[in-house]
Amino acid sequence: MQQSSKKPAYRELKKKIPGLLDRQDIEPVLSELKQYPAQKLLGALYSALLSPRKLIKWHSVTAIGATASRIAQSDLEQARIVMRRFMWTLNDESGGIGWGSPECMGEIMARHQGLALEYRRILFSYLAQGDTGSDNYLEYLPLRRGAFWGLARLAQGDPVLAREGSFQVLKALRQENDPEILALICLYLRLSRRSPDEFPRPDPGNGTLEIYWDQKLQSLPARELCLV
């Protein structure tokens, strides 16, 4: 009887979450979500992460970051399990694609320094192809874009730790020509406080980039992210 009473509550939460996330202002929603048990909430947010609606998907990244950080404050090992879940989805052996996983990793680490200290190098390893190949390099462009977004988000939360990814970024600059990734590298270099003399900014072109930043979907000239 106890098990059956829990299932409807979870189904109700899973149905409710997309409507909550489909709002422009996520801050009141984050406060509301704190009333739910974190583990149950994460399950519903994982589903929302796959939404075809961009705002719901991106707000779920924010909510997952906030929830995982909340878990880490009381049970760091459970938060590590969350991080390992995202790492597993990006592993070829998982059989999945890992939509939203690198973004969630970056968001979580931007909010919790302890997890950033443990997992930042995993995120860095997704960014560039090594000379002899890399087991972790994300060949699929949409996932790699997510990894660079996660890197920029980490730089926003902890510029000092994010600077440790500079070596991989330098390799990526020799390999990448995708305007979105180049713009995200610009954003990373700005937020990690690298001067243009130290790291010349790439040119992402004169197109417009749709980016989720500061918890809002925005359309910006790509070159605007390169301005010091």
Domain annotation covers residue 95: no
Do the domain assignments include residue 168? yes
Question: Does 81 reside within a domain?
Answer: no
Residue 200 in any domain: the answer is yes
Residue 220 in 3-state DSSP?
strand
Residue owning tokens 């000239």: 221
The answer to whether residue 222 sits within a structural domain is: yes
Residue of 44, 85, 65, 77 lying closest to 153 (CA atoms): 65
Alpha helices for 49-163 (secondary structure H): 54-74, 76-89, 101-111, 113-125, 141-157, 159-162
54, part of any domain: no
Q: What is the pTM of this model?
A: 0.93
Q: How many domains does the chain have?
A: 1
For each of the chain's 228 residues, which pLDDT tens digit applies?
Answer: 344 444 447 788 899 999 999 999 999 999 999 999 999 999 999 999 999 999 999 999 999 999 999 999 999 999 999 999 999 999 866 667 899 999 999 999 999 999 999 999 999 999 998 765 557 899 999 999 999 999 999 999 999 999 999 999 999 999 999 999 999 999 999 999 888 888 888 999 999 999 999 999 999 999 999 886
Instruction: Show the domain range for 177.
Output: 120-228
Is residue 199, in this structure, part of any structural domain at all? yes
52 within domain boundaries: no
